[in-house]
Structures are given as C-alpha cells and as structure tokens.
Amino acid sequence: MMKKIVFVCLGNICRSPMAEAIMKKLLKEQKLEMIFQVDSMATSFEEVGNPIYPPAREKLKERGILAFTHQAKVFKKENYDEYDYIIGMEESNIYNLIRIVDADQEHKIRKLLGHHDIKDPWYTRDFETTYQEIEYGCRQLLEELIKREGE
Ligand code: 4NP
C-alpha cells in the first residue's frame, strides 16, 4: 500500500523542496520509491510557481542530488485527506497548517525534528546546517515509517 508524505515550509523554495529531494534520494538508495510518494508544499503564496532557491539547489548538488525540478505550490485544505504524513519544518509551519486544515483529526501533522525547529535558511543563510538537519530528520522519519508500515 503506497504511503504519501508531504513536506511543508513557508515558501516551498528552500527547506521543504530540500526535504523532498533528500527523502527521494534515501528512498531510491533503499529501493523504496514504489512504497512512498513524496511531495512538498508551502503555507504562503509568496513564491508560488518558483523553482528551488539557487543556494538550496547548490547544496543539493554538492551532495550529489543533481536533477530536481520544482515549482512551489501551496498546501490546501483538500490536501489533508490525500497525504498520510504532513511534515513541517518549524513550529510556525505547524501553526499555519492547522489554520489551513482547521483540525488535525487524524494526527498526520508533525515537525520533522520533534523538539527542534529547522530555521529558515532564507534568513540564516546557513544552507549547510539546513541540509544536515533535514537529512538527519529524513533518515529518522524513514526508519520510523519502514517499521510502522511494515507491520
Ligand atoms: P522556505 O524559505 O520556507 O524554506 O522555502 C522561504 C523562502 C521564501 C520566503 C520565506 C521563506 N518568502 O517569504 O519569500
């Protein structure tokens, strides 16, 4: 049974597309691309239609993720039913997601790192830290999902 994951940040041009690309890489390495489908979205309309932000793309390239096409889009209320795991990057993403969906009745919404906010590299300019935190979070999440979905 296919499971669907969506990563969500503010603009969908830095953190959530990085998470999408990194998770897709991990899934490919573990030959799990047929089991998990991955997407990413924004909570704001600011960057709709835009590609991944060049410094974020560069960071992915540095780590061997060369081909990643992307167009920023916004998470809508209707998307709630479509996804099994809705993963924000920081507390404000969770707040905005709850505002969009009204209530997280199926407990699908959570942060990538439970007790840590992945800060916006648009402001910090530290794309290396962003990459490391997202990769760590994705590895942990995937490990958990494999355990859970394998039951
Ligand atoms: P992201 O970074 O949420 O990691 O994609 C941002 C990019 C753009 C804006 C905010 C955050 N913006 O307001 O334009």
Ligand 1 near 12 CB (within 6 A) = yes
- Whether the pLDDT of residue 1 is over 90: the answer is no
Question: Across-strand partners of 42?
Answer: 9, 74
Ligand 1 near 137 CB (within 6 A) = no
User: What is the residue with the minimal CA distance to atom 14 of ligand 1?
Assistant: 46
Kindly report, residue by residue over 27-75, the tens digit of the pLDDT: 999 999 999 999 999 999 999 999 999 999 999 999 999 988 999 999 9
**Residue 110 is among the residues annotated as catalytic for this protein:** no
CA–CA distance, 103 with 115 (Å, rounded to integer) = 21
**Residue 9 is among the residues annotated as catalytic for this protein:** yes
Average pLDDT value for the chain: 97
Kindly report, residue by residue over 95-107, the tens digit of the pLDDT: 999 999 999 999 9
- Decide: residue 76, CB within 10 A, 0-12 exposed, 13-18 middle, 19+ buried: exposed
The phi, psi pair for 64, rounded to 5°, reads 90, 5
- Between the alpha carbon of residue 3 and those of residues 45, 82, 108, 128, the distances in Å are 26, 10, 12, 29
Ligand 1 near 47 CB (within 6 A) = yes
- Whether the pLDDT of residue 116 is over 70: the answer is yes
Ligand 1 near 43 CB (within 6 A) = no
Residue 84 alpha carbon to ligand 1 centre in Å = 24
Q: What is this structure's pTM?
A: 0.97
What pLDDT sits at residue 149?
85
Ligand 1 near 14 CB (within 6 A) = yes
- Whether the pLDDT of residue 150 is over 90: the answer is no
Q: Catalytic residue, from 14, 15, 39, 57: name it.
A: 15
Residue 126 alpha carbon to ligand 1 centre in Å = 14
